[in-house]
C-alpha cells in the first residue's frame, strides 16, 4: 500500500498552500484519493505532479496550458523540482517546446521573450487587458486616497501641535502673572 500524505504534509513537501492545491485539483481535474474519513489522501505521484505544476507555473505557464500538458506530465513523470538534474531540465525544455507548439497551432501566441531568448508573438486577451486597466486604476485611486489621508493626518497633527504650543504658552504666561503677584 502506497504512503498516504495529509494536506498539511503535502503543503510542507510542495511548498504550495492548501487552497492552491484544491484549486489546482479543480481546475486541472486531478483525481485525488480519499481516506476512510473522506479526507484528501495524496500519494507520492500526486506530490510529484504538484511539484511539476508548481515548476511550470514558476516558468510562466498558465493553468490552461498546464491542463493541456497534464497527460504528458502524468505519463512522463516529467520534472523533479527538489533536485533537478540535466535530464530533468531537458524534459522541462521539451515540455516548454511542446506547449509553445500547441499554442502556435491554436494561434494564441503573444509578443514577448521566452526565458531562452526566443521571441514569440501572441494576441493579448482583451479580458486580461481590461483587468489590468481596472487594476491599475484601482491602485492609482488607492495611492491617491492614501496620499490624501496622509495629508489630512499631517494637517491634523500640525493643528494639534499648534494647540499644544498655545496651551504651553498660556500656561507659561499664567505662571509669570502668578509670580509677579506674589
Q: Which residues pair with 5 in a beta bridge?
A: 42
DSSP reduced 3-state for 61: coil
The neighbour count for residue 42, using CB atoms within 10 Å, is 23
143 compared with 109, residue with greater pLDDT: 143
Residue 94 shares a structural domain with residue 112? yes
Residue 68 binned pLDDT confidence (cut-offs 50, 70, 90) = confident
**Count of domains in the chain?**
2
The answer on pLDDT for 168 being more than 90 is yes
Using alpha carbons, select from 104, 50, 110 the residue that is nearest to residue 78: 50
Q: Is residue 128 part of a domain?
A: yes
Mean pLDDT over residues 31-37, rounded? 90
Residue 113 shares a structural domain with residue 134? no
pTM to 2 decimal places:
0.43
Mean pLDDT over residues 130-156, rounded? 79
Mean pLDDT over residues 110-130, rounded? 58
Residue that has been written with the C-alpha cell 504538484 in this structure: 50
Q: Is residue 2 part of a domain?
A: no
Last residue in a domain, options 85, 100, 122: 122
Q: How does pLDDT run across 79-94, given as a tens digit for each residue? A: 444 444 545 555 666 6
Domain range enclosing 33: 7-122
- Across the chain, what does the average pLDDT equal? 77
Residue 112 shares a structural domain with residue 160? no
The answer on pLDDT for 113 being more than 60 is no
The per-residue pLDDT for 87 is 55
Cell numbers standing for residue 49: 505532479
- What string of H, E and C letters represents the secondary structure of 84-149? CCHHHHHHHHHHHHHHHHHHHHHCCCEEEECCCCCEEEECCCHHHHHHHHHHHHHHHHHHHHHHHH
Residue 25 shares a structural domain with residue 55? yes
Amino acid at each position: 500500500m502506497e504512503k498516504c500524505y495529509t494536506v498539511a504534509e503535502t503543503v510542507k513537501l510542495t511548498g504550495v498552500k492548501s487552497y492552491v492545491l484544491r484549486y489546482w485539483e479543480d481546475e486541472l481535474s486531478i483525481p485525488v484519493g480519499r481516506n476512510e474519513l473522506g479526507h484528501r489522501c495524496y500519494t507520492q505521484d500526486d506530490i510529484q505532479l504538484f511539484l511539476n505544476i508548481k515548476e511550470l507555473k514558476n516558468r510562466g505557464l498558465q493553468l490552461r496550458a498546464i491542463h493541456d500538458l497534464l497527460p504528458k506530465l502524468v505519463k512522463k513523470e516529467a520534472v523533479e523540482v527538489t533536485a533537478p538534474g540535466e535530464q530533468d531540465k531537458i524534459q522541462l525544455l521539451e515540455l516548454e517546446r511542446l506547449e509553445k507548439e500547441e499554442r502556435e497551432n491554436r494561434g494564441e501566441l503573444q509578443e514577448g521573450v521566452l526565458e531562452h531568448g526566443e521571441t514569440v508573438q501572441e494576441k493579448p486577451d482583451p479580458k486580461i487587458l481590461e483587468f489590468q486597466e481596472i487594476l491599475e486604476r484601482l491602485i492609482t485611486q488607492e495611492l491617491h486616497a492614501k496620499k490624501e489621508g496622509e495629508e489630512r493626518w499631517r494637517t491634523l497633527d500640525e493643528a494639534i501641535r499648534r494647540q499644544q504650543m498655545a496651551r504651553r504658552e498660556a500656561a507659561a504666561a499664567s505662571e509669570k502673572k502668578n509670580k509677579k503677584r506674589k
